[in-house]
Amino acid sequence: MATQIVALYLTPTFECIGVRCKFSGDANQNAIATLEYRPSGSTYWIPTTEMRVDRRAAVISQGSTIANPYANEWRASIVGLRRDTEYEVMVTIQDPDGVVGSPISGPIRTWSHDETQGLGPTYYVAPGASGGDGSLSRPWSLAYAEGRAQPGDSYLLLPGEYGSQTFIRSGVAGNPITYAPQNLANPPTFSGQITLNCRHVRLKGFRHPSGGTLIQNATWNILEAFEQSRRGITLQGEVTGTLIQDCYIHDITENPPNGFERAGIYRRQGTIGGVVIRHNNFAQCWDGIGGEGNFRLDGGYPDSDIHDNHIENVSDDGIEAEGSGLNTRIWNNTLINCFNADLGLASIIIGPTYVFRNLAVVTDPAIGQNGYKLGGNQSKGHLLIYHNTSYYTTGRQGFTDAGGKSAGNIGNISSRNNIMQARNRVIASWGTPSSFDNTVSFDYDNLYKPTGGYQDSYAVWDGGYYNFAQFRAGKPSQEVHGMSVDSQFVDPASSNFQLRETSPLVDAGQVILGFNDPDSAWPYVGSAPDIGAFELGVYVPPTPTPVLLTLEVAGNGTTDPPSGNYEYPRDSAVTLTAIPTAHHKFAGWTGSIVSLENPLMVTLTGDLSIVANFTSIIFIVAIAAEPGGSTDPASGSYQHQEGSQVTVIALPSAGYYFVEWQEGGLPIGTGNPLVFVVDADRSITAVFALISIPPGQFGVSITVLGQGTTTPVPGTYTVVENSPLTVVAAPVQGWRFAGWQGDVSGTNPSITVQVTRDLSIVAVFTEQPPSVSVGKILAGAALFATLVAMLRRH
Amino acid sequence: MPDLSITLKEEEIAQVVALLPEVLREELALKLEEAIRLLLAEVP
């Protein structure tokens, strides 16, 4: 009972991806599958088109029951994608009995050859030319040019009649061979048949008034801007990657090459590979776009896109996409006065086929027949009909079983958000019991039949004739959310089928993933999608709420932008720069982001609070004293901030004198004290020497601390034993003598000692406090005297 | 914290001083006399 995923098949076009997820098991048929995708590199999986399951062991092709080659698959198309873009696609299957291999995902790139240009040289071609060199003045013949063509070549065809031509030589992917008019105002004419049996060839701008075009076993070719008449274009054999665009295909009165109907574009049965038919203009054909394999598994337009075509005044179907219908997408086409049907969809054998946002209009009173011809061979491949607008003022019926009217042979059709405005029946199912089985579902549509017209009844179903109320009451699962009202188009007479703002269809549709949700290419405006092909209003993506950046500074420094609160659009990239003040360094970002990078680039996916941290630059000052003295501060290692001032005093012991400061064994000065500003690690040593003393004499060192001097001046002296030595201390301006240290003491600036041993005499000066006026001193003394009087009063 | 910027009148200072023990009052008086001597010594 469990499901096992077997394989995931992804088939792209420029704007769509066909998805097939093959599975085994799930005999009790209770699994469900969901489809998601994302542009490669994105982290957000976009939920998209509902997957449809195909468990049929057999299908009916051309009246015979044959094995279903697509049995046991979940399938869907992702639509509205970007060309030349890498996507990842993921299918997730849930089965209460267990799943093996889910989810399954894979990469796929959408097509890009529509914009590929040849990289090679350009040559010129003229009818009947010979012996030239391919230049404008000496062009080649087309037969010669085609026979020598290399990938990347471009051939410009001078005006004239070229007859027929078979194109055999191929370009390569990314480097096609191009044939185009030399004079756009006077394009080359081909009265005979044009045959493509080549790859990566681009034919552009030919007048082709007679012979028809056969694209046979030819892949990745582009046919564009043809004016094609009398005979149409046939697709046959392997034609993967064929793009037919911007052509005017009209007045097709003869069968196209190998074709059996006078279609504008005709696809033969058994033809392989997806094609894209877009932006063409069809008029006066049999089918606009059709083919021969209507009831065959190998017919139709599998893995193909038919979109943005204008099809007018054709004799049979506007677009006849019958056959396998495997991942066929038909959208944005305009179908005007197509005689037999707008869309021939009888039947879809494999599916799913998506028909969406097409406009069909019939105003020619001679035209009745069917809008959507549904059918009809019991195979019941899925057909999804979304957001189409149909407007018929004639006897045309809406959705009909014209492709097969026997009971119960039409199924797996969902109609949503469509407008079907007809003066005949909007739904016509003639089988009894109904040809529509209970898997045919109409809902959220506006199926409107104004009073009067060609028939009284709104719908025929199951042998009964109904008005709208009776239809809903009699078919309780149909159009539960639907309506039957005037759509209020802006101006049908001018082919403007936009809704008026007052239309009850505005915001009355159903959200359909992939086709109208905000992540789709057709995001709805308002509270819900509008019914019909044209959404009212312009979609404005929601303004993302801004994100808040809070920037703070800790320590001595600034930032760019400066600290504060800032609002930015979500997903903005902001560069933050930390700028330390002098003698400080940047120590990293903290808060929402921890990083040492500077500058720091942040992407604001949410609110951020970031602190720029700065710290002082610290250096180590190592102080040492060699024998014979000490230092103040004492020997050791000290931390100092960069830029701070350090004072080191050398204090010689008795009998020694201070010689110099050294660093790294080299002298750096003799001043004492040593004063310096810290800008690096330092290792400073005070060097002392023994005072050299003759016999009968003693060594006396005189040292000054602070700012002042002595008489005799500071230095080392030898003094005869027992003789008196007088030293006088004299401060500089702003300093005063504070006393003697070393081997002497006292505060009298003049001192006399009897030298009976080695002496170290240190005169200490201290900075004078700020001067105070005599008046203030006397006032202070008076205040104290007052206090004394008070203290004594008690 | 008390407001240190309050200016006391002379009789108010007397009221505060009266709160001190007598021994401490004498001690303070002697120290203040010493301070007065030192201050006056600074006067040129």
- pLDDT tens digit sequence for A266-292: 999 999 999 999 999 999 999 999 998
CB half-sphere exposure, A692, CA atoms < 13 A: 1
Beta partners for residue A310, in sequence order: A281, A334
Give the pTM. 0.68
Interval A104-131: pLDDT, tens: 999 999 999 999 999 999 999 999 888 8
Mean predicted confidence (pLDDT) in A759-766: 90
Higher-confidence position of A483 and A42: A483
Distance CA A692, CA A686 (A): 19
Suggest the residue from B15, B32, B34 to mutate for an interface test with chain A (most A CBs closer than 10 A): B32
Please report which confidence band the pLDDT of residue A777 belongs to, taking 50, 70 and 90 as the band edges.
confident
CB contact under 8 A, A788 and B33: yes
Quick one: what percent of chain A has pLDDT higher than 70? 99
Whether A549 contacts A555, CB under 8 Å: no
User: Given this model, what pLDDT does residue B1 score?
Assistant: 47
Contacts of A787 in chain B (CB under 8 A): 13, 17, 28-29, 32
A709 CB neighbour count, 10 Å cutoff: 16
Predicted pLDDT at A477? 85
Is the predicted pLDDT of residue A758 greater than 90, yes or no?
no
Q: Is there a contact between B43 and A784 if contact means CB atoms under 8 Å apart? A: no
> Is the predicted pLDDT of residue A544 greater than 80, yes or no?
no
* Chain B residues with beta carbon closer than 8 angstroms to that of A777: 39-40, 42-43
> What is the biggest distance separating any 2 CA atoms in chain B, rounded to whole angstroms?
40
* Interchain CB contact of A783 with B (< 8 Å): no
Least confident of A47-51, A559-563, A602-606: A602-606
Q: What is the pLDDT of chain A when averaged over all its residues?
A: 92
| Contact (Cβ atoms closer than 8 angstroms) between residue A269 and residue A292 | yes
User: Is pLDDT at A538 greater than 80 in this prediction?
Assistant: no
Specify the residue for token string 């009298």.
Answer: A748
CA distance linking residue A480 with residue A471, whole number of Å: 10
Distance of CA A497 to the CA centre of its chain: 34
Angle at A669 between CA A668 and CA A672, to 5 degrees: 135
| CA-based nearest distance B27→chain A, Å | 9
User: Three-state DSSP class for A470?
Assistant: helix
B44: chain A residues, CB-CB within 8 Å: 774
Closest CA to A365 of A389, A405, A395: A395
pLDDT at A794: 62
- Residue A674 near residue A661 (C-beta atoms within 8 A): yes
What integer pLDDT is reported at residue A540 of this predicted model? Answer: 64
Worst-scoring range by mean pLDDT, A213-227, A341-355, A401-415?
A401-415
Predicted local distance difference test score (pLDDT) of residue A123: 96
Closest chain A CA to residue B25: A791
Tens of pLDDT, residues A490-534: 999 999 999 999 999 999 999 999 999 999 999 999 999 999 999
Instruction: Using the predicted structure, report yes or no on whether residue B4 has a pLDDT greater than 60.
Output: no
Counts of helices then strands in chain A (DSSP H, E): 3, 73
| pLDDT confidence of residue A715 | 83
Q: Which of A774, A785, A791 sits opposite B25 (nearest CB)?
A: A791
What's the confidence (pLDDT) of residue A543?
A: 64
Mean pLDDT of A26-44: 93
Segment A376-383 mean pLDDT: 84
Q: Largest Cα–Cα distance of chain A, in whole Å?
A: 149
Distance, in Å, from the CA atom of A242 to the CA atom of A573, rounded to the nearest integer, reads 42
Q: Three-state SS for A474?
A: helix
Please report, to the nearest 10 degrees, the dihedral formed by the alpha carbons of residues A325, A330, A334, A340 taken in order: 10
**By a Cβ cutoff of 8 Å, what residues of chain B touch chain A?**
10, 13-14, 17-18, 20, 22, 25-26, 28-29, 32-33, 35-36, 39-40, 42-44
Give pLDDT tens digits for A578-595. Answer: 999 988 899 999 998 899
Residue A54 parent element (H or E): strand A52-54
Specify the pLDDT at position A757. 87
Helices (H), A419-512: 468-474
Q: Quick check: A353 and A386 in contact, CB under 8 A?
A: no
- β-strand partners of A731: A708
pLDDT reported for residue A224:
97
Closest listed residue to residue A332, CA positions, set A369, A280, A377, A380: A280
Written as one string, the DSSP assignment of A174-208 is TB-EEEEESSTTS-EE--S-EEE--BSEEEES-EE
| Mean pLDDT confidence for A82-109 | 96
Round to whole Å and give the CA distance between A716 and A688: 12
What confidence category does residue B5 fall into, taking pLDDT thresholds of 50, 70 and 90? Answer: low
Closest CB to B32 among A777, A778, A784: A784
What would the pLDDT profile of A132-156 be if each residue is shown by its tens digit?
999 999 999 999 999 999 999 999 9
Inter-chain touch B36–A784, beta carbons under 8 Å: yes
Cα dist from A120 to A178, A336, A631, whole Å: 10, 43, 86
Terminal CA-CA length for chain B = 40
Q: Single out the residue of A638, A635, A656 nearest to residue A646, CA to CA.
A: A638
**CA distances from residue A27 to A98, A258, A372, A790 in whole angstroms, order as listed:** 12, 44, 35, 112
Quick check: A788 contacting B, CB < 8 Å? yes
> Residues 741..780 of A with a Cβ closer than 8 Å to B: which?
772, 774, 777-778, 780
At A721-752, the pLDDT tens digits run: 888 999 999 999 888 898 998 889 988 999 99
User: Considering CB atoms only, which of B28, B29, B39 is closest to A780?
Assistant: B39
Q: How far apart are CA A733 and CA B3, in angstroms?
A: 40
Output the pLDDT for position A488.
96
- Predicted confidence (pLDDT) at residue A340 exceeds the cutoff of 80: yes
Residues A404-463 have pLDDT tens digits of 777 888 899 999 999 999 999 999 988 888 888 889 999 999 999 988 777 778 888 888
pLDDT class for B3, splitting at 50, 70, 90? low
pLDDT confidence of residue A648:
93
- CA torsion sign, A63 to A67 to A71 to A77? negative
| Model confidence pLDDT, tens digit, residues A627-681 | 999 998 999 999 998 888 999 999 888 888 888 999 988 999 888 889 999 999 9
